[in-house]
Structure formats: structure tokens, C-alpha cells
Amino acid sequence: MDVISVIRTKRDRGELSPEQIDWVIDEYTRGAVADEQMSALAMAILLNGMNRTEIARWTAAMIASGERMNFDALSRPTADKHSTGGVGDKITLPLAPLVAACGAAVPQLSGRGLGHTGGTLDKLESIPGWRALLSNAEMLDVLESTGAVICAAGDGLAPADKKLYALRDVTGTVEAIPLIASSIMSKKIAEGTGSLVLDVKVGSGAFMKNIEDARELASTMVGLGTDHGVKTVALLTDMATPLGLTAGNALEVRESVEVLAGGGPADVVELTIALAREMLTAAGLPDADPEKALRDGSAMDVWRRMIQAQGGDPDATLPVAREQHVINASSSGVLTKLDAYAVGVAAWRLGAGRARKEDQVQAGAGVELHAKPGDKVVAGQPLMTLHTDTPEKFAYAIEALDGGVLTAPEGTDFVPSPIVLDRIA
Ligand code: URA
């Protein structure tokens, strides 16, 4: 076997054999296939695709590159959720304790943000003292004692994906459905959850800009999960508009706590409940009542215990950015567009996200929205507040919002998109 013939097979639109796939993933993980060779192969896959057989084998090879976790010893069924990433997507924060409060165990291995989408770990790290890095033993301990744990994936889980994802990030090869599906599912299957709900985002703020691509990604991932014995369901959800009223780390924690306290924006509550129902059903707990767990404070209790178990202080004051800048509506009417990508880039430029993995994020930076599509607005009323510790970034952030906010004359017929667009099982 040699790497050049593997690259040529895919370059010439051929099908990779199981032996070629196992060999190239193993050699790449061990450092014998060079980054530039894997980059060429990733680009050939992006351009020419892989069929379902190839994707299944590629995923299995990435799982086999590292360790597999096992939660069989836990006293509850496990349920996990994975979002393909969006703007203002803080759902994991209220969802994990909510589902735990309803009887499932939620092992949520999460990531950091890159580019315009936020990362769950960056959000939680704005809580003073909270630790993302846990050993496997600590993770199991928090999971057994509180019902939920949100932490960084250890280095031993799908190391082939860790290497390949970093490479794709700098070679323009992230947006390939076979590579995204195998990347996400190799980690989720290796993690050892019994059931998985995928939140596949669709729209300007998501990887998948249209519903057809999102359906294809969702059905590929559902097939991979099911083939590996993980009960897997996908919801396709709107990411043309940011979720909720905040995009930024501490701002999103504050909003998540509002949801756990029984309040919060309607779209965040609706999606949290929809995903909780799917997770509980997939975990064999279809009669659990997540709405009650939000109302009666039991989800909030799990949140507090989970944050404390990871060193955080749930009562600590969250960081606030040093400077604010308010953007007002320029005309009266109905807000018809608040573009998720534009808001995500603005939050990123304000300091909420990072351009390179080594960059630090600002805990208090981000965008706070005062209106959502469908709302009536009056010229001069605040539309959003920008937060940052580095006010020299305001102009650059405002530039990102250019064309991202539209208002139509009052009386215009406008129906906002539903949050849940489709379900694939
Ligand atoms: N998230 C992942 O884990 N992998 C991808 O390829 C894209 C999003």
C-alpha cells in the first residue's frame, strides 16, 4: 500500500477500498502519512465525495485510532446531544442538566469555538473556577453523582479525527459531508453513549446553508450511529437567525440560567424542550416531563451541582465586558432579517471567538439582541448592544453587520421560520 495510490484513487473518482481506508487512517495517526498528503486526500474527498460504504469504514477506522469509553456501569441510561454548531447556540447548557433531572445520564464531551460559531467549553469557562479538563475517572464521578457532565474530550478519543480536523481547518476542507459526518460520529461512538440526538443546523450561521445538504448530513450520521448500535435521531433546526438574544460566552451563560429558572427566550426554551424529549425517548424514558423539570427547579438543582462538581461557583457574578455600544434601528417597521452569520462574525470580532486555536477569548464579549425577526421596531430604538473589552474593535464588528439586519414597512406580511424544520430517524 502507498499513499500516492490512495490519493490517486479518490482524485480519479474511484472508491477507496476498506484496506486503503484502514491503512491511510492508521498511518496518518502514527505520523507516517504526511500532512500534505492527507490534505490532498481530504481535498479529493471534498471534491469527489465518498459513498456510504466508504464513510462507514472511514468512521470505523477513526474510532479504532483511539480508546472507547464505556458507561455500562452507570445506574442510568445515557443520552447525548451534538449540535453541528451555530450562533448563540447555548442549548447544551440548559439541556444537559434538564435531561439529567428527568432520569438520564448525560455525558457531554464538548469543544471550543473556532471562527464565527461559539464553543460550549468557552461559554462555561466564563464561570469563575469551572474546569473543562477532567480525567476519565473524574468525568465518570461527576456523571454518576450529578447525572450530567460537560467537559473536553480527552486526547485518547478518536485521535485520528483530532489531527485530521485541525488539518481540514487550515486547508479549506471542513465543509465536506463525508468528512463532517465521520468526524462527529467517530467521537460520539467512541464516547460510548447509548443514544444520541443530533441538532443539525441549517442556514447562514451553520456549516449547512441549505436544507438538502443538512438532510444528507443528518441521514448519513443517523445511519452511522444506528450501524454502531447507538440509537440516533436528528432534528434539522433553523440557524438563519441567532438562537435566543445573546451570542458571546458569559452573555450566553446568563441566558441559559434564565431558561433553567423557568424564563428565557421562547426559541431557546422551545428547542431545549424539543431536544430533551428526543433524548429522553431515545434513552427509553418517553414519559419524563422536561417542562415540569424546568418549572419545579429540579433542572436548576442539577445545573448548580454540576457546575460545583467541576470547581465552578454557580452564584459567582459573571464577567461583564468593559465597554458597550448600542446600535439603534434606522427605520420603523417589522424586523425581517437578523442574519446569524453576520451576528456571529460581529461577536467573534468583539473578542467572543478565536481565529486560531491558541487565541484567548474574552468572557464578557459578544452581542446582545433587543429584537428578533417578526418584532415591530421603531426608528431609534435599540436593536442590539455590542460588548467588548477592546473598544477599538467596535467599528470592525459593526462592519460585519452590514446587510445583516433588514426592516420592512409596518404591515408587511412576515412569518418567522419555525425552529425545528425536520426530523430524521
Ligand atoms: N464538528 C466536528 O466535530 N467535526 C466536523 O468536521 C465539523 C464539526
Cell 461527576 belongs to which residue?
142
List the grid coordinates of 95: 439541556
What distance in angstroms lies between residue 413's CA and the mean position of ligand 1's atoms?
A: 37
3-state DSSP call for residue 367?
strand
Whether 413 is a known active-site residue: answer no
Kindly report the CA angle at 52 between 46 and 55, in degrees rounded to 5? 55
Pocket of ligand 1 (CB under 6 A): 84-85, 165, 174, 179-180, 183-184
Protein fold of 323-408:
Aldehyde Oxidoreductase; domain 3 (3.90.1170)
Question: Residue 111 Cα, ligand 1 centroid: separation in angstroms?
Answer: 10
Catalytic site residue 304?
no
- Is residue 422 annotated as a catalytic residue, yes or no? no
What is the structure's pLDDT at 355? 74
How many Cβ atoms from other residues are within 10 Å of residue 160's Cβ?
24
Spatial contact of 203 and 171, defined as CB atoms under 8 Å apart: no
What spacing in Å lies between the alpha carbon of 382 and ligand 1's midpoint?
A: 35
Tens digit of pLDDT for each residue in 31-88? 999 999 999 999 999 999 999 999 999 999 999 999 999 888 898 999 999 999 899 9
pLDDT at 356 over 80: no
Q: For residue 223, give every residue at least 6 positions away whose Cβ sits within 8 Å of its Cβ, in sequence order, or none.
A: 52, 56
3-state class (DSSP) for residue 323: strand
Residue range 215-248, pLDDT digits in tens: 999 999 999 999 999 999 999 999 999 999 999 9
For domain 80-309, is the CATH number 1.10.10.10? no
- Nearest ligand 1 atom, CA 174: 6
Ligand 1 pocket mutation, candidates 109, 110, 112, 183, criterion most atoms within 8 A of CB: 183
Active site residue 187: yes
Indicate if 82 belongs to the active site.
yes
Distance CA 96, CA 106 (A): 6
Distance 157 CA to ligand 1 centre (A): 14
Model-level pTM? 0.95
Q: Which residues of the chain does CATH 3.40.1030.10 include?
A: 80-309
Written as nine digits, the cell of 172 is: 479549506
Q: What is the CATH number of domain 3-49?
A: 1.20.970.10
Residue ID of nearest Cα to ligand 1 atom 5: 180
